[in-house]
Protein backbone atom coordinates (compact mmCIF):
# COMPACT_ATOMS: atom_id res chain seq x y z
CA UNK A 1 0.00 0.00 0.00
CA UNK A 2 1.42 3.30 -0.96
CA UNK A 3 1.03 5.56 2.09
CA UNK A 4 3.46 8.18 0.93
CA UNK A 5 0.94 10.39 -0.89
CA UNK A 6 -0.86 10.71 2.43
CA UNK A 7 -2.57 13.94 1.62
CA UNK A 8 -3.69 12.89 -1.77
CA UNK A 9 -6.72 10.93 -0.59
CA UNK A 10 -9.12 12.24 2.07
CA UNK A 11 -8.04 10.16 5.04
CA UNK A 12 -5.99 12.96 6.54
CA UNK A 13 -8.77 15.44 6.15
CA UNK A 14 -11.19 13.00 7.70
CA UNK A 15 -8.94 12.38 10.69
CA UNK A 16 -8.47 16.08 11.24
CA UNK A 17 -12.21 16.64 10.97
CA UNK A 18 -12.93 13.92 13.55
CA UNK A 19 -10.27 15.27 15.90
CA UNK A 20 -11.54 18.83 15.57
CA UNK A 21 -15.11 17.64 16.11
CA UNK A 22 -14.33 15.54 19.17
CA UNK A 23 -12.13 18.11 20.87
CA UNK A 24 -14.85 20.58 21.97
CA UNK A 25 -17.35 17.76 22.55
CA UNK A 26 -14.99 15.99 24.94
CA UNK A 27 -13.97 19.23 26.64
CA UNK A 28 -17.63 19.69 27.55
CA UNK A 29 -18.65 16.06 28.03
CA UNK A 30 -15.86 15.01 30.39
CA UNK A 31 -16.56 17.47 33.23
CA UNK A 32 -20.32 17.69 32.69
CA UNK A 33 -21.24 14.11 31.91
CA UNK A 34 -18.52 11.53 32.47
CA UNK A 35 -16.86 12.70 35.69
CA UNK A 36 -20.06 13.35 37.70
CA UNK A 37 -21.38 9.88 36.82
CA UNK A 38 -18.03 8.27 37.58
CA UNK A 39 -17.90 10.01 40.95
CA UNK A 40 -21.34 8.76 41.99
CA UNK A 41 -20.84 5.21 40.72
CA UNK A 42 -17.46 4.91 42.43
CA UNK A 43 -18.73 6.04 45.81
CA UNK A 44 -21.81 3.81 45.63
CA UNK A 45 -19.80 0.75 44.69
CA UNK A 46 -17.42 1.34 47.55
CA UNK A 47 -20.27 1.53 50.00
CA UNK A 48 -21.83 -1.66 48.69
CA UNK A 49 -18.55 -3.50 49.02
CA UNK A 50 -18.24 -2.42 52.65
CA UNK A 51 -21.74 -3.61 53.46
CA UNK A 52 -21.15 -6.93 51.76
CA UNK A 53 -17.93 -7.44 53.62
CA UNK A 54 -19.71 -6.80 56.90
CA UNK A 55 -22.49 -9.27 56.15
CA UNK A 56 -22.06 -12.84 57.27
CA UNK A 57 -19.37 -12.03 59.78
CA UNK A 58 -18.74 -13.84 63.03
CA UNK A 59 -21.78 -15.27 64.80
CA UNK A 60 -23.20 -17.75 62.30
CA UNK A 61 -24.40 -18.07 58.72
CA UNK A 62 -25.30 -14.93 56.80
CA UNK A 63 -28.97 -14.30 56.02
CA UNK A 64 -30.08 -15.45 52.59
CA UNK A 65 -30.63 -13.15 49.68
CA UNK A 66 -34.43 -13.65 49.92
CA UNK A 67 -34.42 -12.63 53.57
CA UNK A 68 -32.41 -9.53 52.81
CA UNK A 69 -34.80 -8.65 49.99
CA UNK A 70 -37.77 -9.15 52.28
CA UNK A 71 -36.20 -6.95 54.91
CA UNK A 72 -35.43 -4.32 52.32
CA UNK A 73 -39.06 -4.24 51.15
CA UNK A 74 -40.36 -4.13 54.72
CA UNK A 75 -38.10 -1.27 55.65
CA UNK A 76 -39.24 0.68 52.61
CA UNK A 77 -42.85 0.09 53.65
CA UNK A 78 -42.04 1.18 57.18
CA UNK A 79 -40.39 4.33 55.89
CA UNK A 80 -43.44 5.12 53.76
CA UNK A 81 -45.75 4.53 56.72
CA UNK A 82 -43.61 6.85 58.86
CA UNK A 83 -43.81 9.48 56.12
CA UNK A 84 -47.61 9.24 55.98
CA UNK A 85 -47.83 9.50 59.76
CA UNK A 86 -45.67 12.61 59.64
CA UNK A 87 -47.81 14.17 56.91
CA UNK A 88 -50.97 13.47 58.92
CA UNK A 89 -49.75 15.92 61.56
CA UNK A 90 -49.95 18.81 59.07
CA UNK A 91 -53.07 20.88 58.48
CA UNK A 92 -52.52 21.64 54.79
CA UNK A 93 -52.92 19.48 51.74
CA UNK A 94 -49.98 17.08 51.40
CA UNK A 95 -48.83 14.82 48.60
CA UNK A 96 -47.98 11.13 48.58
CA UNK A 97 -46.51 9.59 45.43
CA UNK A 98 -46.80 5.85 45.59
CA UNK A 99 -45.00 4.44 42.58
CA UNK A 100 -45.49 0.88 43.79
CA UNK A 101 -49.29 1.14 43.53
CA UNK A 102 -49.20 3.77 40.74
CA UNK A 103 -51.07 6.36 42.77
CA UNK A 104 -50.66 10.02 43.56
CA UNK A 105 -52.66 10.87 46.67
CA UNK A 106 -53.66 14.24 48.01
CA UNK A 107 -53.88 14.00 51.76
CA UNK A 108 -55.46 16.22 54.37
CA UNK A 109 -54.73 15.22 57.95
CA UNK A 110 -53.78 11.76 56.75
CA UNK A 111 -57.06 11.27 54.85
CA UNK A 112 -56.63 10.56 51.14
CA UNK A 113 -59.01 13.10 49.58
CA UNK A 114 -58.04 12.41 46.00
CA UNK A 115 -56.47 9.32 44.53
CA UNK A 116 -54.99 9.90 41.08
CA UNK A 117 -54.12 6.90 38.98
CA UNK A 118 -50.64 7.11 37.42
CA UNK A 119 -50.82 5.97 33.82
CA UNK A 120 -47.04 5.80 33.48
CA UNK A 121 -43.94 7.05 35.16
CA UNK A 122 -40.22 7.33 34.53
CA UNK A 123 -37.48 8.07 36.95
CA UNK A 124 -33.87 9.05 36.81
CA UNK A 125 -31.52 6.15 36.29
CA UNK A 126 -29.36 7.74 38.94
CA UNK A 127 -31.87 7.14 41.73
CA UNK A 128 -30.68 3.59 42.47
CA UNK A 129 -27.11 4.92 42.61
CA UNK A 130 -27.42 8.33 44.21
CA UNK A 131 -30.20 7.54 46.65
CA UNK A 132 -27.94 5.06 48.37
CA UNK A 133 -25.04 7.35 49.05
CA UNK A 134 -26.56 8.11 52.45
CA UNK A 135 -28.75 5.02 52.40
CA UNK A 136 -32.15 5.04 50.77
CA UNK A 137 -34.08 5.46 54.00
CA UNK A 138 -32.38 8.65 55.07
CA UNK A 139 -32.96 9.98 51.57
CA UNK A 140 -36.67 9.21 51.70
CA UNK A 141 -37.25 10.30 55.29
CA UNK A 142 -38.29 12.89 56.55
CA UNK A 143 -40.83 14.05 53.94
CA UNK A 144 -39.48 16.01 51.00
CA UNK A 145 -40.00 19.77 51.27
CA UNK A 146 -41.11 21.74 48.25
CA UNK A 147 -38.61 24.44 47.34
CA UNK A 148 -40.26 25.86 44.24
CA UNK A 149 -42.61 24.93 41.44
CA UNK A 150 -43.50 26.07 37.95
CA UNK A 151 -46.36 25.16 35.67
CA UNK A 152 -48.05 25.86 32.37
CA UNK A 153 -51.17 27.09 34.21
CA UNK A 154 -51.47 29.79 36.86
CA UNK A 155 -51.58 28.66 40.47
CA UNK A 156 -54.80 30.58 41.06
CA UNK A 157 -56.88 31.83 38.12
CA UNK A 158 -57.38 35.26 39.63
CA UNK A 159 -59.51 37.75 37.67
CA UNK A 160 -59.39 41.35 38.76
CA UNK A 161 -62.67 43.29 38.64
CA UNK A 162 -63.24 46.89 39.59
CA UNK A 163 -66.42 47.45 41.56
CA UNK A 164 -69.23 48.94 39.46
CA UNK A 165 -70.15 52.54 40.14
CA UNK A 166 -73.89 51.96 40.01
CA UNK A 167 -76.51 49.27 39.40
CA UNK A 168 -76.55 49.86 35.61
CA UNK A 169 -72.83 49.16 35.35
CA UNK A 170 -73.27 46.16 37.68
CA UNK A 171 -75.92 44.68 35.39
CA UNK A 172 -73.65 45.07 32.38
CA UNK A 173 -70.84 43.33 34.27
CA UNK A 174 -73.10 40.50 35.38
CA UNK A 175 -73.71 39.61 31.74
CA UNK A 176 -70.01 38.91 31.14
CA UNK A 177 -69.07 35.36 30.23
CA UNK A 178 -67.39 33.15 32.77
CA UNK A 179 -64.02 32.04 31.38
CA UNK A 180 -63.72 28.26 31.12
CA UNK A 181 -60.26 26.85 31.71
CA UNK A 182 -59.21 24.01 29.46
CA UNK A 183 -55.46 24.55 29.32
CA UNK A 184 -53.00 21.68 29.24
CA UNK A 185 -51.34 21.00 32.56
CA UNK A 186 -47.66 20.26 33.06
CA UNK A 187 -45.79 21.21 36.15
CA UNK A 188 -42.51 20.70 37.92
CA UNK A 189 -41.87 20.63 41.64
CA UNK A 190 -38.38 20.97 43.05
CA UNK A 191 -37.86 19.42 46.43
CA UNK A 192 -34.98 19.37 48.84
CA UNK A 193 -32.51 16.48 48.73
CA UNK A 194 -31.98 17.12 45.04
CA UNK A 195 -35.30 15.71 43.84
CA UNK A 196 -37.45 17.09 41.03
CA UNK A 197 -40.91 15.72 40.33
CA UNK A 198 -42.49 16.42 36.97
CA UNK A 199 -46.22 15.89 36.55
CA UNK A 200 -47.39 15.59 32.96
CA UNK A 201 -50.88 15.20 31.58
CA UNK A 202 -51.47 12.02 29.62
CA UNK A 203 -53.55 13.73 26.91
CA UNK A 204 -51.67 15.03 23.87
CA UNK A 205 -51.48 18.83 23.43
CA UNK A 206 -54.99 20.15 22.85
CA UNK A 207 -53.90 22.83 20.37
CA UNK A 208 -50.80 24.17 18.64
CA UNK A 209 -50.59 27.02 21.13
CA UNK A 210 -50.60 24.53 24.00
CA UNK A 211 -47.86 22.57 22.22
CA UNK A 212 -45.78 25.74 21.96
CA UNK A 213 -46.43 26.49 25.60
CA UNK A 214 -45.24 23.03 26.59
CA UNK A 215 -42.17 23.36 24.37
CA UNK A 216 -41.32 26.72 25.95
CA UNK A 217 -41.86 25.19 29.40
CA UNK A 218 -39.46 22.32 28.63
CA UNK A 219 -36.89 24.71 27.19
CA UNK A 220 -37.09 26.87 30.28
CA UNK A 221 -36.31 23.80 32.39
CA UNK A 222 -33.34 22.86 30.21
CA UNK A 223 -31.91 26.37 30.34
CA UNK A 224 -32.46 26.56 34.08
CA UNK A 225 -30.38 23.42 34.47
CA UNK A 226 -27.74 24.90 32.17
CA UNK A 227 -27.58 28.01 34.37
CA UNK A 228 -27.06 25.79 37.42
CA UNK A 229 -24.27 23.96 35.60
CA UNK A 230 -22.55 27.26 34.78
CA UNK A 231 -22.83 28.35 38.41
CA UNK A 232 -21.24 25.08 39.52
CA UNK A 233 -18.44 25.38 37.00
CA UNK A 234 -17.74 28.93 38.15
CA UNK A 235 -17.30 27.55 41.66
CA UNK A 236 -15.06 24.83 40.21
CA UNK A 237 -17.46 22.08 41.26
CA UNK A 238 -18.69 19.15 39.25
CA UNK A 239 -22.39 19.48 38.49
CA UNK A 240 -24.60 17.49 40.85
CA UNK A 241 -26.93 15.20 38.97
CA UNK A 242 -30.56 16.04 39.69
CA UNK A 243 -32.76 13.11 40.59
CA UNK A 244 -36.10 13.28 38.86
CA UNK A 245 -39.35 11.44 38.67
CA UNK A 246 -41.81 12.01 35.85
CA UNK A 247 -45.38 11.02 36.53
CA UNK A 248 -48.13 10.97 33.91
CA UNK A 249 -51.71 11.45 35.11
CA UNK A 250 -54.90 12.69 33.51
CA UNK A 251 -55.30 16.43 32.82
CA UNK A 252 -58.00 16.77 35.49
CA UNK A 253 -55.85 15.05 38.09
CA UNK A 254 -52.80 17.13 37.17
CA UNK A 255 -54.84 20.32 37.49
CA UNK A 256 -56.37 19.24 40.80
CA UNK A 257 -52.96 18.36 42.24
CA UNK A 258 -51.33 21.57 41.09
CA UNK A 259 -54.12 23.80 42.34
CA UNK A 260 -54.31 21.98 45.67
CA UNK A 261 -50.67 21.89 46.71
CA UNK A 262 -49.65 24.59 49.17
CA UNK A 263 -46.44 26.61 49.15
CA UNK A 264 -45.05 24.63 52.07
CA UNK A 265 -45.85 21.27 50.58
CA UNK A 266 -44.38 18.11 52.00
CA UNK A 267 -44.27 14.90 50.06
CA UNK A 268 -43.96 11.22 50.81
CA UNK A 269 -42.41 9.00 48.18
CA UNK A 270 -42.72 5.25 47.81
CA UNK A 271 -40.33 3.86 45.24
CA UNK A 272 -41.46 1.02 42.99
CA UNK A 273 -38.88 -1.51 44.11
CA UNK A 274 -35.91 -1.81 46.37
CA UNK A 275 -33.30 -1.61 43.62
CA UNK B 1 8.34 -0.35 -2.95
CA UNK B 2 10.56 1.69 -0.68
CA UNK B 3 12.63 -1.35 0.17
CA UNK B 4 13.01 -2.19 -3.52
CA UNK B 5 14.17 1.36 -4.23
CA UNK B 6 16.74 1.23 -1.45
CA UNK B 7 18.16 -2.16 -2.39
CA UNK B 8 18.12 -1.97 -6.13
CA UNK B 9 20.44 0.69 -7.44
CA UNK B 10 20.09 -0.19 -11.09
CA UNK B 11 19.27 2.97 -13.09
CA UNK B 12 16.27 1.46 -14.85
CA UNK B 13 14.69 0.42 -11.52
CA UNK B 14 15.35 3.83 -9.98
CA UNK B 15 13.76 5.41 -13.01
CA UNK B 16 10.72 3.15 -12.64
CA UNK B 17 10.35 4.03 -8.96
CA UNK B 18 10.64 7.75 -9.74
CA UNK B 19 7.91 7.45 -12.36
CA UNK B 20 5.69 5.60 -9.95
CA UNK B 21 6.18 8.25 -7.28
CA UNK B 22 5.50 11.01 -9.77
CA UNK B 23 2.31 9.33 -10.91
CA UNK B 24 1.21 9.07 -7.29
CA UNK B 25 1.73 12.78 -6.81
CA UNK B 26 0.65 13.83 -10.30
CA UNK B 27 -2.35 15.77 -8.92
CA UNK B 28 -0.64 16.81 -5.70
CA UNK B 29 -0.94 20.51 -5.24
CA UNK B 30 0.34 21.73 -1.87
CA UNK B 31 -1.92 24.81 -1.76
CA UNK B 32 -5.04 22.76 -2.50
CA UNK B 33 -4.15 20.19 0.16
CA UNK B 34 -3.56 22.86 2.78
CA UNK B 35 -6.91 24.38 1.94
CA UNK B 36 -8.58 20.98 2.21
CA UNK B 37 -7.05 20.35 5.64
CA UNK B 38 -7.91 23.83 6.80
CA UNK B 39 -11.51 23.29 5.79
CA UNK B 40 -11.58 19.96 7.61
CA UNK B 41 -10.26 21.64 10.74
CA UNK B 42 -12.67 24.55 10.46
CA UNK B 43 -15.76 22.46 9.83
CA UNK B 44 -14.72 19.89 12.44
CA UNK B 45 -14.42 22.62 15.05
CA UNK B 46 -17.63 24.26 13.90
CA UNK B 47 -19.69 21.07 14.12
CA UNK B 48 -17.84 20.10 17.29
CA UNK B 49 -18.74 23.38 18.98
CA UNK B 50 -22.31 22.97 17.84
CA UNK B 51 -22.43 19.45 19.26
CA UNK B 52 -20.67 20.60 22.45
CA UNK B 53 -23.40 23.19 22.95
CA UNK B 54 -26.03 20.46 22.82
CA UNK B 55 -23.95 18.24 25.10
CA UNK B 56 -23.88 21.16 27.53
CA UNK B 57 -27.61 21.76 27.26
CA UNK B 58 -28.60 18.12 27.52
CA UNK B 59 -25.88 17.08 29.96
CA UNK B 60 -28.45 16.00 32.61
CA UNK B 61 -30.10 13.65 30.10
CA UNK B 62 -26.74 12.35 28.93
CA UNK B 63 -25.66 11.72 32.51
CA UNK B 64 -28.88 9.82 33.03
CA UNK B 65 -28.22 7.72 29.94
CA UNK B 66 -24.75 7.01 31.26
CA UNK B 67 -26.14 5.93 34.63
CA UNK B 68 -28.17 3.35 32.74
CA UNK B 69 -24.91 1.84 31.50
CA UNK B 70 -23.23 1.98 34.90
CA UNK B 71 -23.03 -1.38 36.67
CA UNK B 72 -25.77 -1.87 39.21
CA UNK B 73 -24.59 -3.28 42.44
CA UNK B 74 -26.64 -5.72 44.38
CA UNK B 75 -28.32 -3.30 46.76
CA UNK B 76 -29.22 -5.65 49.54
CA UNK B 77 -28.62 -4.19 52.92
CA UNK B 78 -27.58 -6.81 55.38
CA UNK B 79 -26.74 -5.14 58.63
CA UNK B 80 -23.44 -5.88 60.26
CA UNK B 81 -22.73 -9.41 61.33
CA UNK B 82 -26.36 -10.56 61.53
CA UNK B 83 -26.97 -14.28 61.61
CA UNK B 84 -30.04 -16.08 60.31
CA UNK B 85 -31.90 -16.42 63.60
CA UNK B 86 -31.40 -12.81 64.60
CA UNK B 87 -32.38 -11.75 61.15
CA UNK B 88 -35.59 -13.77 61.20
CA UNK B 89 -36.55 -12.19 64.51
CA UNK B 90 -35.83 -8.76 63.09
CA UNK B 91 -37.96 -9.56 60.04
CA UNK B 92 -40.94 -10.58 62.16
CA UNK B 93 -40.58 -7.50 64.36
CA UNK B 94 -40.41 -5.16 61.37
CA UNK B 95 -43.45 -6.79 59.75
CA UNK B 96 -45.41 -6.26 62.97
CA UNK B 97 -44.36 -2.63 63.20
CA UNK B 98 -45.37 -2.00 59.58
CA UNK B 99 -48.79 -3.55 60.17
CA UNK B 100 -49.36 -1.45 63.28
CA UNK B 101 -48.42 1.73 61.44
CA UNK B 102 -50.67 0.89 58.50
CA UNK B 103 -53.58 0.39 60.92
CA UNK B 104 -52.83 3.78 62.44
CA UNK B 105 -52.92 5.35 58.96
CA UNK B 106 -56.22 3.65 58.11
CA UNK B 107 -57.68 5.05 61.34
CA UNK B 108 -57.38 8.60 59.98
CA UNK B 109 -60.37 7.95 57.72
CA UNK B 110 -63.50 9.18 59.54
CA UNK B 111 -66.05 6.57 60.63
CA UNK B 112 -69.10 8.79 60.07
CA UNK B 113 -69.96 10.23 56.60
CA UNK B 114 -67.53 12.85 55.39
CA UNK B 115 -67.51 15.21 52.45
CA UNK B 116 -64.76 15.96 49.96
CA UNK B 117 -64.98 19.12 47.84
CA UNK B 118 -62.77 19.43 44.76
CA UNK B 119 -62.48 23.14 43.97
CA UNK B 120 -60.61 22.66 40.69
CA UNK B 121 -63.16 20.24 39.22
CA UNK B 122 -66.14 21.68 41.15
CA UNK B 123 -67.27 18.28 42.37
CA UNK B 124 -68.33 16.80 45.68
CA UNK B 125 -67.80 13.28 47.00
CA UNK B 126 -69.80 12.09 49.94
CA UNK B 127 -67.94 9.25 51.61
CA UNK B 128 -68.72 6.64 54.24
CA UNK B 129 -65.39 5.38 55.58
CA UNK B 130 -63.56 4.58 52.34
CA UNK B 131 -66.68 3.99 50.25
CA UNK B 132 -68.22 6.56 47.91
CA UNK B 133 -71.84 7.25 48.87
CA UNK B 134 -72.64 10.00 46.41
CA UNK B 135 -70.94 12.10 43.78
CA UNK B 136 -72.23 15.45 42.55
CA UNK B 137 -71.37 18.81 41.07
CA UNK B 138 -70.95 22.05 42.93
CA UNK B 139 -69.78 25.61 42.44
CA UNK B 140 -66.86 27.01 44.35
CA UNK B 141 -64.92 30.28 44.60
CA UNK B 142 -64.52 32.27 41.38
CA UNK B 143 -61.08 33.72 42.23
CA UNK B 144 -62.41 37.15 41.34
CA UNK B 145 -60.58 39.96 43.04
CA UNK B 146 -63.17 42.69 43.53
CA UNK B 147 -61.61 46.12 44.00
CA UNK B 148 -63.78 48.75 45.62
CA UNK B 149 -61.02 51.18 46.45
CA UNK B 150 -57.29 51.17 47.04
CA UNK B 151 -57.57 49.63 50.50
CA UNK B 152 -60.85 47.76 50.16
CA UNK B 153 -60.91 44.61 48.13
CA UNK B 154 -62.14 41.03 48.39
CA UNK B 155 -60.96 37.83 46.80
CA UNK B 156 -63.60 35.18 46.29
CA UNK B 157 -61.97 31.85 46.90
CA UNK B 158 -62.99 28.74 48.78
CA UNK B 159 -60.65 27.92 51.66
CA UNK B 160 -58.81 24.58 51.64
CA UNK B 161 -58.13 22.08 54.35
CA UNK B 162 -60.08 20.15 56.93
CA UNK B 163 -63.29 21.67 58.33
CA UNK B 164 -66.15 20.52 60.48
CA UNK B 165 -69.81 21.30 60.07
CA UNK B 166 -70.37 23.82 62.84
CA UNK B 167 -74.06 24.31 62.33
CA UNK B 168 -76.77 22.84 60.11
CA UNK B 169 -79.56 25.22 59.19
CA UNK B 170 -82.90 24.51 57.55
CA UNK B 171 -84.42 27.23 55.33
CA UNK B 172 -81.46 29.54 55.90
CA UNK B 173 -81.63 33.30 55.52
CA UNK B 174 -78.68 35.04 53.95
CA UNK B 175 -77.06 37.92 55.79
CA UNK B 176 -75.57 39.93 52.95
CA UNK B 177 -72.00 41.07 53.57
CA UNK B 178 -70.58 44.39 52.27
CA UNK B 179 -69.21 42.90 49.06
CA UNK B 180 -72.70 41.81 47.97
CA UNK B 181 -73.73 45.48 47.80
CA UNK B 182 -70.44 46.66 46.28
CA UNK B 183 -70.72 44.03 43.59
CA UNK B 184 -74.22 45.20 42.68
CA UNK B 185 -73.25 48.85 42.68
CA UNK B 186 -75.55 49.57 45.64
CA UNK B 187 -74.75 51.66 48.71
CA UNK B 188 -73.67 49.63 51.75
CA UNK B 189 -76.40 49.71 54.43
CA UNK B 190 -75.66 49.69 58.20
CA UNK B 191 -74.79 46.33 59.76
CA UNK B 192 -78.19 45.86 61.38
CA UNK B 193 -80.21 47.02 58.40
CA UNK B 194 -83.09 44.73 57.30
CA UNK B 195 -81.83 45.24 53.73
CA UNK B 196 -79.03 42.83 54.58
CA UNK B 197 -81.34 39.87 55.09
CA UNK B 198 -82.51 37.84 52.12
CA UNK B 199 -84.42 34.57 52.33
CA UNK B 200 -84.91 31.84 49.76
CA UNK B 201 -81.58 32.27 47.99
CA UNK B 202 -79.54 29.64 49.87
CA UNK B 203 -81.78 26.64 49.21
CA UNK B 204 -83.31 24.34 51.81
CA UNK B 205 -80.22 23.76 53.91
CA UNK B 206 -76.98 25.46 54.82
CA UNK B 207 -74.04 23.83 56.54
CA UNK B 208 -71.74 26.34 58.21
CA UNK B 209 -68.00 25.71 58.02
CA UNK B 210 -66.87 28.81 59.93
CA UNK B 211 -65.68 32.30 58.94
CA UNK B 212 -68.92 32.84 57.01
CA UNK B 213 -68.32 29.97 54.58
CA UNK B 214 -71.36 27.78 53.93
CA UNK B 215 -72.38 24.78 51.91
CA UNK B 216 -75.77 25.79 50.57
CA UNK B 217 -78.23 25.59 47.67
CA UNK B 218 -78.56 27.98 44.76
CA UNK B 219 -81.01 29.65 42.43
CA UNK B 220 -78.39 29.70 39.64
CA UNK B 221 -78.36 26.01 38.79
CA UNK B 222 -76.92 26.61 35.32
CA UNK B 223 -73.66 27.67 36.97
CA UNK B 224 -73.23 24.39 38.85
CA UNK B 225 -69.88 22.84 37.95
CA UNK B 226 -68.31 26.28 37.43
CA UNK B 227 -66.20 28.43 39.73
CA UNK B 228 -68.62 31.31 40.29
CA UNK B 229 -69.20 31.72 44.02
CA UNK B 230 -67.87 34.18 46.56
CA UNK B 231 -66.19 31.38 48.52
CA UNK B 232 -69.18 29.32 49.63
CA UNK B 233 -69.93 25.93 48.12
CA UNK B 234 -73.18 25.82 46.15
CA UNK B 235 -74.96 22.55 45.51
CA UNK B 236 -77.98 21.53 43.47
CA UNK B 237 -81.18 20.76 45.39
CA UNK B 238 -80.82 16.95 45.23
CA UNK B 239 -77.16 16.92 46.17
CA UNK B 240 -77.81 19.35 49.01
CA UNK B 241 -80.60 17.13 50.34
CA UNK B 242 -78.35 14.04 50.32
CA UNK B 243 -75.42 15.89 51.91
CA UNK B 244 -77.58 17.52 54.57
CA UNK B 245 -79.24 14.23 55.46
CA UNK B 246 -75.97 12.36 55.83
CA UNK B 247 -73.93 15.04 57.55
CA UNK B 248 -74.57 16.56 60.93
CA UNK B 249 -72.86 18.98 63.23
CA UNK B 250 -69.27 17.86 63.69
CA UNK B 251 -69.03 15.96 60.39
CA UNK B 252 -65.74 16.42 58.59
CA UNK B 253 -65.44 18.33 55.32
CA UNK B 254 -62.23 18.21 53.33
CA UNK B 255 -61.69 20.89 50.71
CA UNK B 256 -58.80 20.82 48.22
User: Is there a domain that residue B71 lies in?
Assistant: no
Q: Is the pLDDT of residue A254 over 60?
A: yes
| pLDDT per position as a tens digit, A177-229 | 777 778 899 999 999 988 999 999 999 998 999 999 999 999 998 888 888 88
Query: In terms of pLDDT, which residue wins out, A137 or B256?
Result: B256
Q: CA of B70: which chain A residue's CA is closest?
A: A41
- What is the assigned CATH class of domain A67-156+181-275? mainly beta
pLDDT recorded at residue A4 = 46
Residues B61 and B119 in one domain: no
Which uninterrupted H or E stretch holds B244? helix B237-246
Residues B145 and B48 in one domain: no
Asked whether the whole model's pTM tops 0.80, one would answer yes
pLDDT recorded at residue A42 = 73
CA gap B30, A144 in Å, rounded: 66
Answer for the pair B175, B196: CB distance below 8 angstroms, yes or no: yes
User: Is there a domain that residue B181 lies in?
Assistant: yes
**Which residue among A59, A77, A124 sits closest to B64, beta carbon to beta carbon?**
A124
- Domain map of chain A by residue range? 11-48, 67-156+181-275
**Which residue among A25, A54, A71 sits closest to B81, beta carbon to beta carbon?**
A54
Answer for the pair A270, A137: CB distance below 8 angstroms, yes or no: no
Q: What is the mean pLDDT of residues A39-49?
A: 64
What is the CATH classification number for the domain harbouring B209?
2.40.440.10
Residues B163 and B231 in one domain: yes
Chain A residues closer than 8 Å to B24 by CB: 2, 4-5, 8
Which uninterrupted H or E stretch holds B146? strand B144-149
Please judge whether A157 and B143 are an interchain contact, meaning their C-beta atoms are less than 8 angstroms apart.
Answer: yes
Low pLDDT (below 50) residues in chain B? 74
Q: CA of B227: which chain A residue's CA is closest?
A: A178
User: Nearest 5 degrees, angle CA B151-CA B156-CA B158?
Assistant: 135
pLDDT band at residue A46 under the 50/70/90 scheme: low
Q: CA of A84: which chain B residue's CA is closest?
A: B105
Average pLDDT across chain B, whole number: 88
pLDDT band at residue A3 under the 50/70/90 scheme: very low
Residues of the domain holding B33: 2-66
Please judge whether A55 and B82 are an interchain contact, meaning their C-beta atoms are less than 8 angstroms apart.
Answer: yes
Chain B residues closer than 8 Å to A66 by CB: none
Q: Is the pLDDT of residue A275 over 50?
A: no
Residues B120 and B62 in one domain: no
Mutation test of the interface with chain A: which of B75, B93, B106, choosing the one with the most A Cβ atoms within 10 A? B75
Please judge whether B63 and A36 are an interchain contact, meaning their C-beta atoms are less than 8 angstroms apart.
Answer: yes
Name the domain count of chain B.
2
pLDDT recorded at residue A73 = 85
Chain A residues closer than 8 Å to B29 by CB: none
**Which residue among B44, B47, B75 sits closest to A275, beta carbon to beta carbon?**
B75
User: Is there a domain that residue B17 lies in?
Assistant: yes
Q: Under 8 Å CB-to-CB from A68, ≥6 apart: which residues?
A: B76, B77, B78
The sign of the dihedral angle between the CA atoms of B213, B218, B223, B225 is: positive
The alpha carbon of residue A169 is apart from the nearest alpha carbon of chain B, in Å, by 7
| pLDDT per position as a tens digit, A57-83 | 444 566 777 887 788 888 889 999 999
pLDDT recorded at residue B8 = 60
The alpha carbon of residue A21 is apart from the nearest alpha carbon of chain B, in Å, by 4
Q: What does B157-219 look like in DSSP terms, one character per residue?
A: ----EEEE--EEEES-EEE--HHHHHHTT-PPPPTT-GGGEEESSS-SEEEEEETTEEEE--S
Provide the 3-class DSSP secondary structure of residue A131.
coil
Q: What is the mean pLDDT of residues A15-28?
A: 93
Q: Measuring CA to CA, which residue among B129, B134, B131 is closest to residue B109? A: B129
Q: Measuring CA to CA, which residue among B73, B28, B91, B50 is closest to residue A130? A: B73
Q: What is the percentage of chain A residues whose pLDDT exceeds 90?
A: 49
Chain A residues closer than 8 Å to B140 by CB: none
Q: Is the pLDDT of residue A86 over 90?
A: yes
Residues B56 and B127 in one domain: no
Residues B230 and B123 in one domain: yes
User: Nearest 5 degrees, angle CA B133-CA B137-CA B141?
Assistant: 125
Residues B247 and B130 in one domain: yes
Chain A and chain B share a number of CB contacts under 8 A equal to: 300
Please judge whether A170 and B183 are an interchain contact, meaning their C-beta atoms are less than 8 angstroms apart.
Answer: yes
pLDDT band at residue A6 under the 50/70/90 scheme: very low
User: Is there a domain that residue B83 lies in?
Assistant: no
Residues B130 and B31 in one domain: no
Residues B60 and B171 in one domain: no
Residues B223 and B123 in one domain: yes
Q: Measuring CA to CA, which residue among A43, A131, A115, A14 is closest to residue A79? A: A131
Chain A residues closer than 8 Å to B184 by CB: 164, 167, 170
CA gap B233, B243 in Å, rounded: 12
Amino acid sequence: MNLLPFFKNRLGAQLIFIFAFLLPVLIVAVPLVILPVQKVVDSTSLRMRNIRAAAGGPGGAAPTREMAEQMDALRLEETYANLLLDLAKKDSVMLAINLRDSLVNLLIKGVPVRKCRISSFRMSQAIPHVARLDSLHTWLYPPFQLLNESATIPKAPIRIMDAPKDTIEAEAMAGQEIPIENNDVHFTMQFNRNLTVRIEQEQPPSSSSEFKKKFAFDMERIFAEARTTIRNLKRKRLPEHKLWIEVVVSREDAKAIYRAIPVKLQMALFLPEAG
Amino acid sequence: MKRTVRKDFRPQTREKARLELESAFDDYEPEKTEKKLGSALFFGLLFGLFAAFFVFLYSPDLRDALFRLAPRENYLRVDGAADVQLYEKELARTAKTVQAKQKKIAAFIPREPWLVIDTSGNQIFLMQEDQLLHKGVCSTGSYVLLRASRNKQWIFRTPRGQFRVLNKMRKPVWYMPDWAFVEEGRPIPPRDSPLRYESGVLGDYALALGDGYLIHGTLYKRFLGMPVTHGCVRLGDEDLEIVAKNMGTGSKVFIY
